[in-house]
Amino acid sequence: MCELSVLLNKDGESQQIAKDVVYALQNGDTLIVKDILGTPTEVSSAMIAKVNITNETLTLIAHPLVGKFLKFFALLTDESDMPEIEQAWGQLKKAGDELILKKQ
């Protein structure tokens, strides 16, 4: 069987947060991984960046913007009402605009 080490890239740094992982699930803005014993590790505002079976690694990226995007996307795909979707879009757009201004 192929178990994975989970690396989290956040704020320009990478660290191992779990090992012997055999399961991953995106649940809203939270990514859940479980090891071979079923022990969960949850990471907020994260998504899978890369799976490398050869190196047995699962690399995650975490950033507040990821969480806002995942929340917006979840609202689009369920039966949320338009004001809730528009509010989530506004929060995502505002956060993105702020990041762009910091880069200038």
Examine the domain organization and report whether 10 and 57 are in the same domain: yes
Helices (H) and strands (E) in the chain, counts: 2, 6
Q: What is the pLDDT of residue 79?
A: 83
Same domain, 38 and 73: no
DSSP 3-state of 27: strand
Same domain, 12 and 52: yes
Question: How many domains is the chain built from?
Answer: 2
Residues 43 and 30: their CA atoms lie apart, in Å, by 6
Using DSSP bridges, classify how beta strands 57-62 and 4-10 pair: parallel, antiparallel or unpaired: parallel
User: In terms of domains, do 56 and 69 share one?
Assistant: no
Name the residue range of residue 77's domain.
65-103
Report the pLDDT value the prediction gives residue 72, as an integer from 0 to 100: 94
Q: Could you tell me if 18 and 54 lie in one domain?
A: yes
Same domain? 80 vs 48: no
> Which residue ranges in the chain fall short of pLDDT 70?
1
| pLDDT value of position 80 | 86
pTM of the model: 0.85
| 80 and 53, same domain (yes or no) | no
Answer yes or no: do 21 and 58 share one domain.
yes
